[in-house]
A and B are shown apart, each in its own frame.
Chain A
Amino acid sequence: MSKIAYIDNQPFEMKDGETILSFIKRNSGEDLVPTLCDAPNLDPYGACRVCSVDVALKSDGPVKAQASCHTPVMEGSYIFPSTPRITKLRKNIVELVLTDHPLDCLTCEVNNNCELQTVAAKVGIRDVRYPAGKNHLDKKKDLSHPYMTSDFSKCINCARCVRACDEVQGQFVLSMAGRGFDSHIIKGMNTTFNESDCVSCGACAQACPTSAISDVFESKSVVPQEKVRTVCTYCGVGCNLDVAVADNKVKSIQAPFDADVNEGHTCLKGRYAFSFYDHPDRLREPMIKKNGKFEEVSWDEAYDFIASRFTEIKKTYGPDYIAGISSARCTNEENYLMQKFMRVVIGTNNIDSCARVCHSPTAIGMQRTFGTGAATNSIIDLQYTDCMMVIGANPTASHPVTGAKMKQVAMKGKTLIIIDPRKTELTKYAQFHLQLRPGTNAAVLNMMLYYIIKEGLEDKAFIESRTEGYEEFKKEILALNIPELEKVSGVDRNLVRDAAVAYASAKNAMSFHGLGVTEHSQGTFTVMLIADLAMITGNIGRRGVGVNPLRGQNNVQGAADMGCQPYQGAGYLDLKDPEVISKYELFYKSPFPKEIGYKIPEMYDASLNDRLKAVWIIGEDLVQTDPNTHHVKKALEKLDLLIVQELFMSETAKMAHVILPGASFLEKSGTFTNGERRIQRVNKVVDPVGNTKADGQIIVDLMNKMGYPEPDYDPAVQLKEISGIVPFFKGVKWEELGINGKQWPVLEDGSDTEILHLDTFKRGKGKFIHNAFKETAEIVDHGKEFPYIITTVRELEHYNSGVMTRRTRNSRILKEDVLLINPEDARKNSIGDGELVTVESARGEIVIKAKISDEMKSGVMSTTFHFPEIMMNVITSSISDSEAKCPEYKVVACRIRKK
Chain B
Amino acid sequence: MALTKEIRFNDETMALVQRMMKRYPEGKHKSALIPILHIAQAEFDGWLSPEVMDYVASVMKIQPIEVYEVASFYSMFNLKPVGKCLIEVCRTSSCWLLGAEDVIRHLEKKLNIKVGETSADGMFTLKTVECLGSCGTAPMMQVGADYYENLNLEKVDQLVSRFKAEGKRKSYTDQPEPRSL
Residues of A within 8 A of B (CB): 172-179, 186, 188-190, 413
Contacts and interface: CB of A to CB of B under 8 A. Distances in A.
A453 to B, nearest CB: 31
A532 B27 CA distance: 34
B44 interface: no
B167 interface: no
Contacts of B93: none
A189 B73 contact: no
Contacts of B64: 172, 188-189
Contacts of B63: 172
A173 B72 contact: no
B69 A177 contact: yes
Nearest to B63: A172
30 contacts: A172-B63, A172-B64, A172-B65, A172-B66, A173-B65, A174-B65, A175-B65, A175-B66, A175-B68, A175-B69, A176-B69, A177-B68, A177-B69, A177-B72, A177-B73, A178-B72, A178-B73, A186-B65, A186-B68, A186-B69, A186-B72, A188-B64, A188-B65, A188-B68, A189-B50, A189-B53, A189-B64, A189-B68, A190-B68, A190-B72
Across the A-B interface, the 7 shortest Cβ-Cβ residue pairs: A177-B72, A172-B63, A189-B50, A175-B69, A175-B65, A172-B65, A179-B73
B51 to A, nearest CB: 9
Nearest to A413: B27
Interface string B53-80: 1000000000111101100110000000
Most-contacted residue by chain B among A175, A177, A178, A189 (CB, 10 A): A189
Interface residues of B, number: 11
Nearest to A191: B50
A323 B27 CA distance: 58
A90 B50 CA distance: 40
A135 B129 CA distance: 22
Contacts of B66: 172, 175
B97 to A, nearest CB: 25
Nearest to B62: A172
A173 B53 CA distance: 14
B112 to A, nearest CB: 28
Interface in B29-62: 50, 53
A178 B69 CA distance: 7
Given A172-B63, A186-B69, A188-B68, 11 more contacts: A175-B65, A175-B66, A175-B68, A177-B69, A177-B72, A177-B73, A178-B72, A178-B73, A179-B73, A186-B72, A413-B27
B29 to A, nearest CB: 14
Contacts of A190: 68, 72
Contacts of B68: 175, 177, 186, 188-190
A175 B64 CA distance: 10
Contacts of A179: 73
Contacts of A189: 50, 53, 64, 68
A173 B69 CA distance: 11
A172 B61 CA distance: 13
Chain A interface SS verdict (over half) = loop
A189 B66 CA distance: 10
Contacts of A186: 65, 68-69, 72
Nearest to A179: B73
Nearest to A177: B72
A412 B140 CA distance: 48
B70 to A, nearest CB: 9
A188 B64 CA distance: 8
B55 to A, nearest CB: 12
Nearest to B73: A179
Contacts of B72: 177-178, 186, 190
B151 to A, nearest CB: 28
Contacts of B50: 188-189
A189 B79 CA distance: 10
A177 B75 CA distance: 12
A264 to B, nearest CB: 22
A177 B77 CA distance: 13
Most-contacted residue by chain B among A172, A173, A186 (CB, 10 A): A172
Nearest to B51: A189
A312 to B, nearest CB: 65
Interface string B16-32: 00000000000100000
Nearest to B75: A179
A416 to B, nearest CB: 14
A581 to B, nearest CB: 59
Contacts of A176: 69
A189 B57 CA distance: 12
A189 B63 CA distance: 12
A172 B64 CA distance: 8
A190 B73 CA distance: 13
A178 B71 CA distance: 8
B177 to A, nearest CB: 31
A174 B66 CA distance: 10
A174 B63 CA distance: 11
Contacts of A172: 63-66
A729 B43 CA distance: 67
B80 to A, nearest CB: 11
Contacts of A188: 50, 64-65, 68
A170 to B, nearest CB: 9
B82 to A, nearest CB: 17
Contacts of B53: 189
B60 to A, nearest CB: 13
A193 to B, nearest CB: 14
Most-contacted residue by chain A among B63, B65, B68, B69 (CB, 10 A): B65
A189 B73 CA distance: 13
B48 to A, nearest CB: 10
Contacts of A177: 68-69, 72-73
B59 to A, nearest CB: 14
B27 to A, nearest CB: 8
A744 B142 CA distance: 71
A188 B66 CA distance: 10
B10 to A, nearest CB: 23
A173 B68 CA distance: 10
Nearest to B49: A189
A172 B53 CA distance: 14
Nearest to A183: B73
Nearest to A172: B63
A160 to B, nearest CB: 16
Interface string B73-94: 1000000000000000000000
Contacts of B69: 175-177, 186
A413 B28 CA distance: 12
Contacts of B65: 172-175, 186, 188
B138 to A, nearest CB: 25
B58 to A, nearest CB: 10
A427 to B, nearest CB: 12
Contacts of B73: 177-179
A173 B50 CA distance: 14
Contacts of A413: 27
A819 B3 CA distance: 32
B36 to A, nearest CB: 17
Nearest to A182: B72
A174 B72 CA distance: 13
Most-contacted residue by chain B among A174, A179, A413 (CB, 10 A): A179
A426 to B, nearest CB: 15
A583 B23 CA distance: 72
Nearest to B54: A189
A827 B63 CA distance: 30
A590 B68 CA distance: 70
A45 to B, nearest CB: 15
Contacts of A173: 65
A297 B117 CA distance: 74
A188 B53 CA distance: 11
B159 to A, nearest CB: 30
B153 to A, nearest CB: 32
A244 to B, nearest CB: 31
A413 B27 CA distance: 9
Nearest to A184: B72
